[in-house]
Structure 1
Amino acid sequence: MTSRDKNLMIYDMGLIRGTSLQGYSELVRSLGGDPNALLRAVKIPPSAAGQFDTYLGHRGVIGAIESAATVTGTPDFGRLLAQRQGIEILGPIGAAARTARNFGEALGSFREYLAVYSPNIQATVQPHHDHHYIFLDLRIVLRPRPALRQTLELTLGVTLNILKLFLGPTYRPVSVHVPHEALTPEREYRRYFGAPARFGEPSCGFTILAAELDRPLSDDETAHRALRAYLDSISGVDHNDLDESVQRLISHLLPTGGLSIGVVARQLDLHPRTLQRRLADQGTTFEALVDRTRMDLADRLLRETDMPMTQLAGVLGYSEQSVLVWASRRWFGTTPTHRRRDAQHG
């Protein structure tokens, strides 16, 4: 079996490095819980937690994190665990980023090579309606999507630690975007992240100043090239599929009312007809991706938030709530109100 074959198996199985649970056992014990029992319940050997050379089932890791918050009665468990993790959990990916010329290039290393850590995690820079800002989009791509509120807050917390590593210990983002409702008082989020938090958001991540992309770093070109070559040799996974890039842009543009294939094509530096042709080569269309993105976003927000239906319709780019109801019947065979009720009582 080749290295590429192994990595494709890793991608298909939905795995993540053992360092995703760095500090987990110690934190659970400090909160009065039994980490070994929680880990065994999701079929993770306790000795594997925190080990970079070990791959774990991503759903199991998520289950361990979510259950720890429940068992210990700690609604900010994800944020607390993030205080025990930093760029070191990413291994050579972090080293490649730290030897980049500037912060923008460092983010490019994360975008290109996060599959080495887990193919199910994506970090991309997305445009903002105000050109002074950019949006750092963080995604966990698993289908069907598990409950992962604590895991998303862990992801946000670790990313904040990395931002401070590159941009200074006192760095504060412009805002933090949380896909679910607040799990603790909102003032605790502002104190933790040093920025206003927005909840029930279509995407998870940070708004930051676009000028930060030019912030110079160590610029060790020799080491950077060597690390990239090594990562190229062990990654072997095409994690930049066109349809994924299009879906990320769609999710950002839906609430603006300015979504069109022309706008998306310009962001990808393609002619609209070229974009349609390439999507057709992948067996899909722009319209189908818009519908899929709306369905996935609606399903998540119905299950994980109490967002009013009128607001949800707007987030999905619908001008009328009645259109949301019609779409929900087509997607789920029921109204959005019933979909939310069934999810919360399922």
Structure 2
Amino acid sequence: MSPTHPHDTLHLPPLERARVVGAYAATAVETAQALGADLRRLGEACGQALTQPLPDLSVRQYLHLLDAAANQLGEPTFGLQVGQRMRLATFAGYGLVLCTCRDFRAAAAQTCRFEGLAHDLGRSEIVERQGVAHYYWHSPWLDLPNARLLSESVVAGIRAFAHWLAGGTLPASEVRFTHPKPAEVPIEAYERALGVPVSFGAPVTELRFPAAVLDAHIPHADTSLFPELERLAGEKLAARDRESHEPPLLRQVREHIHQRLMHDRATLGEVAAAMALSARSLQRRLTQAGVPFTALVDDTRRELAQRYLRDTRLSLTEVAFLLGYRQQSSFNHAFRAWFDCTPAAWRVQAQAAAPARRAA
């Protein structure tokens, strides 16, 4: 496979919709704060108050944050320092999945699959050739101002988190960056931070290491939790992908459906009126978008059903009511069609994974 990826194969949203989850961005904020940065000024630079819990940032805001922090602190290696502080909580939505993988090959596959839960900064790829594993990091945003801090933080973060999973240092042979070496940073600073020889001006950001590392077991991994955590992460990823790529009209309709389900008012006419449209106009616009109103109602119910069932304070009858079902049997029938099990069985499976989520 070519080390480069066309933009349209990365499955990233357009730049105006590309986001960085607050938990991932929080590592950069915490690093800046620990180094003495003025968070108020950083917030002004990126156009977002850096309060806790940190909201999601746009990709542009995140890049502004890295750049502003490096300039304010006079730290040209700020990206490397952010990466070195990355931990389980940084990888929002899928870090726990990696902790339940049997070996690093499985963890690498899940990283490539789920990293969209943490950010739209780029996508990972693993290729093996003649006993060498090549970790490629592809990003369409590296032409934006000072994006070198981004790729440096990503590579340092992958190294730091892999060491944490292994409980020790993993071997690697080389790191390559696409950008030129900054004149103010000696090569030794990069090599101390990353623990390997570093070069610049490569066609793609790359980390090379012995392929045998992929088959190394992850110490203390509780593989019994993997199926449930992987399923939950898959659900979150599907929802996030849809939110990132679908037209604003569909997001608005879903929100109105959500607000009206429990009152049995999630009808085409009710939603159209709330959006100051006629039912015919809304129906026509949904037809143009290729999504029937009934499908949006069904999708919204399915996603809310999972959210409500994880809240053990709600009885199954209450969950059915919140979703607009007046009969428990109707809810059970719909749920079986969605997940091939009863709501009660699904809740038991979700509770089994809850201790691991709380431990994180």
* 2:136 is the alignment partner of 1:141: no
- Superposed displacement of residue 147, structure 1: 3.2
Structure 2 CA distance for aligned equivalents of residues 72 and 199 of structure 1: 24
Structure 2 CA distance for aligned equivalents of residues 11 and 99 of structure 1: 33
Give unpaired runs (5+ residues) of structure 2: 1-10, 243-360
Match of 2:19 in 1: 15
- Superposed displacement of residue 122, structure 1: 0.9
Match of 2:228 in 1: 226
Q: Secondary structure at the match of 1:92?
A: coil
Match of 2:151 in 1: 152
- Residues 19-168 of structure 1 correspond to what in structure 2 (within 5 A)? 19-48=23-52, 51=54, 54-128=55-129, 131-142=130-141, 145-168=144-167
Any conservation in 1 of the 2:15–2:59 contact (CA below 8 Å)? no
TM value normalised by structure 2: 0.57
Q: Secondary structure at the match of 2:51?
A: helix
Q: Secondary structure at the match of 2:146?
A: coil
Any conservation in 1 of the 2:177–2:204 contact (CA below 8 Å)? yes
- Residues 272-283 of structure 1 correspond to what in structure 2 (within 5 A)? none
Deviations 1:90-144 (A, max 9, x none): 133111011012110011111111111123421110244xx11011112333387
Any conservation in 2 of the 1:22–1:85 contact (CA below 8 Å)? no
- Are residues 191 and 144 of structure 1, via their aligned partners in 2, closer, same or farther at CA, if it must alter by over 3 Å? closer
Match of 2:204 in 1: 203
- Are residues 144 and 170 of structure 1, via their aligned partners in 2, closer, same or farther at CA, if it must alter by over 3 Å? closer
* 2:214 is the alignment partner of 1:213: yes
Any conservation in 2 of the 1:16–1:58 contact (CA below 8 Å)? yes
Q: Secondary structure at the match of 2:181?
A: coil
Structure 2 CA distance for aligned equivalents of residues 162 and 82 of structure 1: 9
Structure 2 CA distance for aligned equivalents of residues 77 and 115 of structure 1: 23
Any conservation in 2 of the 1:93–1:114 contact (CA below 8 Å)? yes
- Residues 167-316 of structure 1 correspond to what in structure 2 (within 5 A)? 167-183=166-182, 184-217=185-218, 218=220, 220-236=222-238, 237=241
Match of 2:271 in 1: none
Letter aligned with residue 215 of structure 1: A
TM value normalised by structure 1: 0.59
- Superposed displacement of residue 62, structure 1: 0.9
Match of 2:268 in 1: none
Structure 2 CA distance for aligned equivalents of residues 163 and 169 of structure 1: 9
Q: Secondary structure at the match of 1:22?
A: helix
Match of 1:330 in 2: none
- Of all paired residues, the percent bearing the same amino acid is 19
- Are residues 31 and 234 of structure 1, via their aligned partners in 2, closer, same or farther at CA, if it must alter by over 3 Å? closer
Any conservation in 1 of the 2:98–2:111 contact (CA below 8 Å)? yes
Which shifted more, 168-177 or 103-112? 168-177
Match of 2:291 in 1: none
Structure 2 CA distance for aligned equivalents of residues 104 and 58 of structure 1: 29
Any conservation in 2 of the 1:66–1:149 contact (CA below 8 Å)? no
Any conservation in 2 of the 1:22–1:84 contact (CA below 8 Å)? no
Deviations 1:18-38 (A, max 9, x none): 123324445434545322212
Number of aligned pairs? 227
Structure 1 CA distance for aligned equivalents of residues 202 and 88 of structure 2: 25
Structure 2 CA distance for aligned equivalents of residues 127 and 145 of structure 1: 30
Structure 1 CA distance for aligned equivalents of residues 144 and 74 of structure 2: 23
Letter aligned with residue 19 of structure 2: L
Structure 2 CA distance for aligned equivalents of residues 9 and 202 of structure 1: 23
Structure 2 CA distance for aligned equivalents of residues 200 and 160 of structure 1: 20
Match of 2:273 in 1: none
Question: Once superposed, what is the RMSD of the aligned Cα atoms?
Answer: 2.6
Any conservation in 1 of the 2:137–2:205 contact (CA below 8 Å)? yes
Q: Secondary structure at the match of 1:47?
A: coil
- Are residues 141 and 121 of structure 1, via their aligned partners in 2, closer, same or farther at CA, if it must alter by over 3 Å? same
Any conservation in 2 of the 1:14–1:142 contact (CA below 8 Å)? no
Any conservation in 2 of the 1:177–1:198 contact (CA below 8 Å)? yes
Letter aligned with residue 32 of structure 2: V
Deviations 1:42-70 (A, max 9, x none): 2122115x64xx32111101111012212
Deviations 1:213-260 (A, max 9, x none): 11112453431110111011111139xxxxxxxxxxxxxxxxxxxxxx
- Superposed displacement of residue 10, structure 1: 9.4
Any conservation in 2 of the 1:172–1:193 contact (CA below 8 Å)? no
- Superposed displacement of residue 173, structure 1: 1.2
Structure 1 CA distance for aligned equivalents of residues 13 and 125 of structure 2: 24
Letter aligned with residue 159 of structure 1: I
